């Protein structure tokens, strides 16, 4: 089955003619490139978050702010874990001839990591603005940034997927 050409049923005329293995290889390479971009950012953010607790100002924070910080660090740790997981997953199953399934699981882990990164960024922004300004307007600013992230990261891509694909359940959904 892995050497057979993927059937043309329901495909657009400009679609690739690939074997299942070729498609899995292509999707894996695309996913790895995406992970490289987001993984670096989340690791840098997480590294900075880990250092905050050792600064003098941290000791002067209110308990509420310390709790927000702890939640932010946990979210950053979870995001890092989810975004590194595809590498570990691939390493453990490499050579088992299950690359299509590996790509699917790695894609799901990556998407989960992106959602956790979103939560980490929002929590960190909330903490920083709350600490810097002590202004009641902070939740509204953070909500505006959250709306922007949701628009850029989810709404526009899902809109384009629906608008420009005949079937929103195309085989490449998981990559």
Confidence at residue 174, expressed as pLDDT on a 0 to 100 scale? 54
Confidence at residue 169, expressed as pLDDT on a 0 to 100 scale? 52
Residues with pLDDT less than 70, the chain? 1-15, 167-175
pTM recorded for the entire structure: 0.84
Strand partners, 5: 19
- Provide the 3-class DSSP secondary structure of residue 7: coil
Confidence at residue 4, expressed as pLDDT on a 0 to 100 scale? 55
Confidence at residue 17, expressed as pLDDT on a 0 to 100 scale? 87
Confidence at residue 12, expressed as pLDDT on a 0 to 100 scale? 44
**Proportion of the chain in helix, strand, coil states, percent, rounded to 5:** 75, 0, 20
Residues 6+ apart with CB under 8 A from 89: 102, 105, 106, 109
**In 3D, which of 66, 122, 113 has the Cα closest to residue 87?**
113
pLDDT 10s digits, 13-51: 446 789 999 999 999 999 999 999 998 999 999 999 999
What separation in angstroms does the CA of 65 have from each of 35, 70, 126? 31, 9, 10
């Amino acid at each position: 089955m892995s050497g057979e050409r993927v059937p043309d049923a329901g495909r657009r005329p400009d679609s690739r003619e690939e074997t299942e293995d070729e498609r899995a290889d292509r999707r894996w390479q695309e996913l790895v490139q995406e992970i490289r971009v987001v993984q670096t950012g989340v690791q840098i953010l997480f590294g900075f978050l880990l250092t905050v607790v050792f600064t003098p100002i941290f000791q002067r924070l209110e308990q509420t702010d310390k709790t927000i910080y702890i939640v932010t660090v946990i979210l950053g740790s979870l995001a890092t874990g989810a975004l590194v997981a595809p590498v570990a997953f691939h390493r453990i199953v490499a050579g088992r001839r299950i690359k299509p399934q590996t790509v699917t699981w790695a894609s799901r882990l990556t998407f989960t990591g992106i959602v956790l990164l979103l939560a980490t960024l929002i929590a960190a922004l909330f903490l920083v603005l709350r600490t810097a300004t002590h202004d009641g307007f902070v939740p509204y600013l953070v909500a505006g940034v959250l709306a922007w992230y949701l628009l850029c990261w989810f709404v526009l891509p899902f809109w384009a997927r629906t608008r420009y694909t005949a079937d929103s359940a195309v085989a490449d959904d998981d990559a």
